[in-house]
Structure 1
Amino acid sequence: MHFTTCPLDCFDGCSIAVSKELKLKGNKAHPITQGYLCHHLNHFHTFERIEEPRYLGQSIKMEEALTILQEKLNTYEPSRTLFFKGSGNLGIMQGVTKQFFASHRAVLASGSLCDEAGDAGVCEGRGANLCLSPLHVKDAEVVILWGRNPTVTNSHMLPSLKGKTLIVIDPVKIDLSHHADLHIQIKPRGDLYLALLLCRLVAMEEMEDCTFLNERTLNYKDFLDFISGIPMRKLLDKAHVNLDEIGELLHLIKGKKVSILVGIGVQKYSFGHSVLRAIDALGAMLGLFGKVGCGVGYLSNSGFGYSLPFKVDAKKEPLPIANFGKYDLVFIQGGNPLNQMPCTSKVEEGLDKAKCIVYFGLHENETSARAHLIIPAKTFLAKDDVKLSYGHPFVGRMPKIVESPIGISEYALTQMLLAAFGHDSLESEATIIEKVIASNSVEKDGFLISKTYEDLPYEKTFYTKSGQFEFMDEFDDDFEDEEGFYLIAAKQNKSLNSQFVTDEYLYVPLCLGLEQEERVRLTNRYGTCEYAVMPTAILRDDCLLLYSGAKNANRLTPHAMSQEGNCATYQEMKVRLEKVT
């Protein structure tokens, strides 16, 4: 039996026991994994993967593919070469390819399609974005799931929710809302306003932790003056909630140990950083930071405190709005921009202009179908790596378990390119990995854990220059509302973004009176697409839902970027719906 760690983009960072037959099982001894795995890992070997390199649609040998890659890199100016990396694998060694492209003086796509607007907001207030792990949340008395659905995105959090008072804040009736003590079915884009409303009422009800505010925060009085100037009716209307719901929430949390678990949906807007700052402000007013069972948890900075080996100095292109048409050579690693990037028409237009598209990854998708050169990667079982989780503090080794003739590792590809273009070679893979681990890890009860979490998150300090929590003092909401439906993007159990098994239905509220499989057309300023519908009782009457990975979903999303964090703003728009006759 061998042990490794799941590389997928997920809170859980599961520890895996691998049999001689390469069957994957959850490591029962691991404090987080506790013996069970998700659908993706339980069926890992059933998903088809790219086994042979291809060039212009024809299968070729790996040696030939690497020769063609070198020729193309020599043909086009480095300044006209773009490196675009997705998050199909979150192992540290997946970033090694940046080392070559930076040395080559290519342009690197920088930013996020996922969480960096919220991360920017967290860091503005706390200085660093640390996690609330299941081992921390298990000591809470009340858990607020704010735009987060652990059943789908964080299943190893579920045992920590048992026996807790549960509050769900979400425009969708997620499964856990049926078991919650309170579900506030908030209006999309209303999260910031609800958080500020709660802050205002916490002050009015004298529920704030005065000792914490006096000793560990800055700007509280200014913050209170700021939010007191916003009309209460505006806050209620923007969040589309009523005072009875708010009163019930305050009653449930009063005097309790509260953990607030926040998902990425709340920050898929231009002012996404401000949403997290407002939710954090509520946590600070209640004195939730640095205490057992308390806090505000988001997708954390998994590399905080570590000496990360592939920080490079290079020219950057904003990833969410990357203009592929500016480049002759586009190298895409572990990503699927033709499905996952906003405003698909812009992505198509840009890629159509590129003279050579290289796709380096495991699975076929919309982007690989358009690539000129395809280079298969090795799976996480066939290469060495280490995983730092954004959902808990454990460090997961990922040793090579099987020799495979299929694909090439990121490290081997980078070493080859560095040598071919006369750049200095890397240290050995083992040396790089061990340096990362040694930089901020300690062994505890037989497992590696980040030294940062030897204390409770923020127990001793915040990581701002002042060492204190810093309240927000403004936000800019320039969204112009228009007729139509909010289009929500959400995760579902059997897919991970555009990987694995996707769901192609458009989910619609029952009030529309549509029948299953009826076809509708969605339209807005960014595009048009058609879907078969699935009526559901889980949605507000003003919302539609597409699960991540659905075909053409991003034909409707804006070619835009968040105010802070260089993040995509998928939900910063509305759509019109009409039946297709």
Structure 2
Amino acid sequence: MSMTTIPLAGRELDSQCPYCSVQCKLRLTPEPASGGEPGEPFRYRAQGAPNAASQGRACVKGLNAHQHAFSSERLLQPLIRREGRLEPCGWDEALDAVAELWRSRIAAGDPDSIGFYGGGSLTNESAYWLGKFARIGVGTRHIDYNGRFCMSAAASAGVRAFGLDRGLTFRLSDIPEAKCILLAGTNVAECQPTLMPYFNEAKENGAYLIVVDPRRTKTAEAADLHLQLRPGTDALLAVLLLRLVLDEGLEDRAFIEARTEGFDEARRQAEALDPAEAAARCGVPLEDARSAARAYASAETAILCTARGVEQQTDGHEAVRQLLNLVLATGQIGRPGCGYGAITGQGNGQGGREHGQKADQLPGYRSIEDPADRAHAAAVWGVPPDSIPGKGVSAFDMMRLVHEGRIRALLVMGSNPVVSNPHAGFVEEALGRLDQLVVADLFLTETARMAHVVLPVASYLENEGTLTNLEGRVLLREASMPPPGEAWADWAVLNALAERLDRQERFRCGSAEAIFEELRRASRGGAADYAGISYERLRKEGGVYWPCPSEEEDGQGLLFADGFARPGGRAQFAARTEAGTGAVDETDGGYPLLLTNGRVLAHYLTGAQTRRSPALASRELESFLELHPRTAAALGIEEGEWVSVVSRQGEFAARGRLNAGIREDTVFAPMHWGGRQNVNRATRPELDPVCRMPGFKTTAVRVRPLRGGGA
């Protein structure tokens, strides 16, 4: 439990963790900071509260999340740039400045020159309102969000294979029933630690745990078998596993024939693979791969999960599709203790992409290119269908348009793209070319420091709304206290801007619950149907799975028991394209190592919040580069010294950290720091051709010590 001094006292606060996709419930209890004398400041002690997802558990991040909400660095009033400096101003001045430029662009017939960049931590209500505002408040097609870098590969693969994208196709409570669990590119023990007891319980019940990761992470340490593959070869490994399943005759023919299509082509391509050659390219022993295939396919029940390690590659869509082939070939889906799961990273990574802040989607996971879907949204919004703009571009593609001058004004809400985007130096240069950058945030982040206007918004303790966790369970997070200073809820900012654009008639909802009621109607009949979910029901039941078409239904926790969400109810196998051949940045004498990145236990995303929690910041004060001791020795690098990491795109600095649990050809850096320590200054700009995911996990680099230098 953690404690921090607060300006309020005397009552318990019930809330919900703002960080990962488990969305644990929390209770904050006030206690005197010392002695208990009248008038003394109070501190809050945080602990987990009962909930179905984490069963009352909370991790170190959640237990210290309130520290950032009470931080002295919180933005308490709007800022506007005058003569090169950000200075305090009133809301009217800030909003008038934003709207004036937007009105001029709209009047010139160029609303697409205005862009919107959202976030996967926004509530469903804010995400829905942002998408609606961009499209019918401003009339631009240019909106996307940072979740593009989170689950887009798994989302596109799930839609094509199953007809539906939801993080988990099973319930968290199903995990202990699995007899084999394959975790590919996910470090649950550090990224979603309150879920680890589910996997431990499965192991106690006899489950065989396989972990696929270039590093020996805390999760890999718990595995019965660790496949320590070369970064970027996940798609190839997936095809190899299918080939080995076929060699053993362990495919589920009855399931394949009754519930899938396209198997013969996938089988032919897998059988054309040379197992020994493929294993060598992946850097894993063939017999270990054979053991993994046999264990997964022969288990009575099995679960396969992916996360960013597999997905954040330029063939991430292909890698997930090939792993889904393995799921389908073995029939390990649609039953208790079985299924596929993409373990979402952001707090509302699931809900955030369902209701309209993604470039190609309308509320309810409808397609913006489908005439019937456009007509449904238009009817709810009270506008003609042809007035809704068409499909936009992905988050990083928007940065390219900014760089080219085709987007001249950008609103960033709940994100920090200067740190989170690949090829970060390019992104910073692009944002510097804007006529107007507006940032709505809690803090003066690296992106906010570049803004022309900064708008202070509510934190998780002050911002009521729903969020959807990784298993598709919609949860209500009540506001525990009013926002400090002059901070507003995200949706209130959009309402005020709509008024200044004379669009207020479409943006009259004056509360999160009122917005959710409209969202229910907008999602009705869509893939992500929330029509049967209400605040009253969420307060009573604690959470409801989607899809939930009516209040008389319970919602679906276990998906695909009777059929898939594709025509005829059949899942689709993927034919192999060029699995494993395009994902890896080529190493050579100048760039001999592969850089991969990820998270550490104490921090979240770009660290904008966790680095302002003293208890969390003290656990990891600065970034680091993890190297194998033999690699470090060859480079003359000692434990703890600063190193320079250089790629073909750029350079960053970090402290060297030696770890024998990483491959000798691989180095790892976390993603939570900006400035000179920003790993994304080195990552490359290439994108997955299907889902537009950047290749964060495979960048060729060279490393050298910074003797006498620092960050």
Specify the code of the residue in structure 2 equivalent to 1:439.
A
1:161-217 CA-to-partner distances (Å, cap 9, x unmatched) read 121322211111011322321111111112111111111111111111121111111
Q: Which runs of 5+ in 1 are unaligned?
A: none
The Cα shift of 1:575 comes to 0.9
Q: Distance in 1 between matches of 2:486 and 2:601?
A: 28
Q: CA distance change for structure 1 residues 369 and 246 in 2, over 3 Å: closer, same or farther?
A: same
Q: Alignment length, in residue pairs?
A: 579
Contact 1:376/1:406 (<8 A) preserved: yes
Specify the code of the residue in structure 2 equivalent to 1:220.
F
Q: Distance in 1 between matches of 2:44 and 2:650?
A: 44
Equivalent residue, structure 2, for 1:189:
232
The Cα shift of 1:451 comes to 4.7
Bigger drift between 204-213 and 158-167 goes to 158-167
Q: Distance in 1 between matches of 2:98 and 2:519?
A: 30
Q: CA distance change for structure 1 residues 28 and 521 in 2, over 3 Å: closer, same or farther?
A: closer
Q: Distance in 2 between matches of 1:522 and 1:383?
A: 40
Q: Distance in 2 between matches of 1:338 and 1:553?
A: 11
Q: Distance in 1 between matches of 2:413 and 2:175?
A: 35
Q: CA distance change for structure 1 residues 25 and 392 in 2, over 3 Å: closer, same or farther?
A: farther
Q: Distance in 2 between matches of 1:140 and 1:100?
A: 44
Matched ranges for 1:324-343 at <5 A = 324-325=402-403, 326=405, 327-343=407-423
Equivalent residue, structure 1, for 2:33:
none
Q: Give the aligned CA root-mean-square deviation in angstroms.
A: 2.6
Q: CA distance change for structure 1 residues 171 and 213 in 2, over 3 Å: closer, same or farther?
A: same
Q: Distance in 2 between matches of 1:555 and 1:196?
A: 33
Whether 1:71 and 2:151 are equivalent positions in the alignment is no
Equivalent residue, structure 2, for 1:481:
586
Under a length normalisation based on structure 2, what TM-score does the superposition of the two structures give? 0.76
Equivalent residue, structure 2, for 1:544:
667
Equivalent residue, structure 1, for 2:574:
472
Q: Distance in 1 between matches of 2:250 and 2:474?
A: 38
Secondary structure, counterpart of 1:520 in structure 2: strand
Equivalent residue, structure 1, for 2:306:
262
Q: Percent identity?
A: 18
Match of 1:439 among 531, 556, 565: 531
Matched ranges for 1:71-90 at <5 A = 71-76=100-105, 78-90=111-123
Match of 1:491 among 595, 599, 610: 599
Whether 1:426 and 2:499 are equivalent positions in the alignment is no
Specify the code of the residue in structure 2 equivalent to 1:93.
S
Bigger drift between 82-91 and 344-353 goes to 82-91
Q: CA distance change for structure 1 residues 560 and 440 in 2, over 3 Å: closer, same or farther?
A: farther
Whether 1:556 and 2:682 are equivalent positions in the alignment is yes
Match of 2:25 among 15, 28, 45: 15
Match of 2:17 among 6, 30, 45: 6
Match of 2:56 among 11, 31, 35: 35
Secondary structure, counterpart of 2:26 in structure 1: strand
Match of 1:110 among 144, 162, 165: 144
Equivalent residue, structure 1, for 2:490:
410
Match of 2:626 among 489, 507, 529: 507
1:475-496 CA-to-partner distances (Å, cap 9, x unmatched) read 2333563221111111111111
Contact 2:47/2:63 (<8 A) preserved: no
The Cα shift of 1:3 comes to 4.2
Equivalent residue, structure 2, for 1:401:
480
1:325-357 CA-to-partner distances (Å, cap 9, x unmatched) read 323322111111111111112112211211221
Secondary structure, counterpart of 1:225 in structure 2: helix
- Structure possessing the higher relative contact order (Cα contacts under 8 Å, 6 or more residues apart): 1
The Cα shift of 1:41 comes to 2.7
Equivalent residue, structure 2, for 1:210:
253
Contact 1:118/1:264 (<8 A) preserved: no
1:4-30 CA-to-partner distances (Å, cap 9, x unmatched) read 43343x220222335578947455431
The Cα shift of 1:545 comes to 0.5
Secondary structure, counterpart of 2:544 in structure 1: strand
Equivalent residue, structure 2, for 1:350:
430
Specify the code of the residue in structure 2 equivalent to 1:509.
H
Matched ranges for 1:294-305 at <5 A = 294-299=338-343, 301-302=350-351
Equivalent residue, structure 2, for 1:280:
324
Match of 1:247 among 272, 290, 314: 290
The Cα shift of 1:315 comes to 5.9
The Cα shift of 1:470 comes to 0.8
Q: Distance in 2 between matches of 1:149 and 1:106?
A: 38
Contact 1:498/1:549 (<8 A) preserved: yes
Contact 2:14/2:26 (<8 A) preserved: yes
The Cα shift of 1:435 comes to 4.8
Whether 1:448 and 2:552 are equivalent positions in the alignment is no
Whether 1:233 and 2:276 are equivalent positions in the alignment is yes
Q: CA distance change for structure 1 residues 378 and 139 in 2, over 3 Å: closer, same or farther?
A: same
Secondary structure, counterpart of 2:467 in structure 1: strand
Equivalent residue, structure 2, for 1:381:
461
Q: Distance in 1 between matches of 2:391 and 2:247?
A: 49
Whether 1:96 and 2:129 are equivalent positions in the alignment is yes
The Cα shift of 1:67 comes to 2.6
Q: Distance in 1 between matches of 2:671 and 2:662?
A: 16
Q: Distance in 2 between matches of 1:36 and 1:478?
A: 41
Secondary structure, counterpart of 1:495 in structure 2: coil
Secondary structure, counterpart of 1:381 in structure 2: coil
Specify the code of the residue in structure 2 equivalent to 1:358.
V
Q: Distance in 2 between matches of 1:172 and 1:397?
A: 36
Match of 2:164 among 113, 120, 128: 128
Secondary structure, counterpart of 1:316 in structure 2: coil
The Cα shift of 1:364 comes to 2.5
Whether 1:570 and 2:708 are equivalent positions in the alignment is no
Contact 1:378/1:406 (<8 A) preserved: no
Secondary structure, counterpart of 1:238 in structure 2: helix
Q: Distance in 2 between matches of 1:489 and 1:90?
A: 27
Q: CA distance change for structure 1 residues 45 and 399 in 2, over 3 Å: closer, same or farther?
A: closer
Bigger drift between 438-447 and 177-186 goes to 438-447
Q: Distance in 2 between matches of 1:165 and 1:125?
A: 26
Contact 1:190/1:238 (<8 A) preserved: yes
Equivalent residue, structure 1, for 2:191:
153
Under a length normalisation based on structure 1, what TM-score does the superposition of the two structures give? 0.92
Contact 2:160/2:572 (<8 A) preserved: yes
Q: Distance in 1 between matches of 2:253 and 2:121?
A: 44
Contact 2:545/2:557 (<8 A) preserved: no
Bigger drift between 350-359 and 86-95 goes to 86-95
The Cα shift of 1:467 comes to 1.5
1:340-383 CA-to-partner distances (Å, cap 9, x unmatched) read 11111211221121122111111232111111211111113223
1:436-474 CA-to-partner distances (Å, cap 9, x unmatched) read 465144969933312545362211111122311111113
Specify the code of the residue in structure 2 equivalent to 1:544.
V
Q: CA distance change for structure 1 residues 577 and 307 in 2, over 3 Å: closer, same or farther?
A: closer
Equivalent residue, structure 2, for 1:530:
653
1:495-537 CA-to-partner distances (Å, cap 9, x unmatched) read 1111213641111111122212333322222112333311112
Q: Distance in 2 between matches of 1:224 and 1:547?
A: 38
Equivalent residue, structure 2, for 1:372:
452
Q: Distance in 1 between matches of 2:182 and 2:487?
A: 43
Contact 2:213/2:309 (<8 A) preserved: no
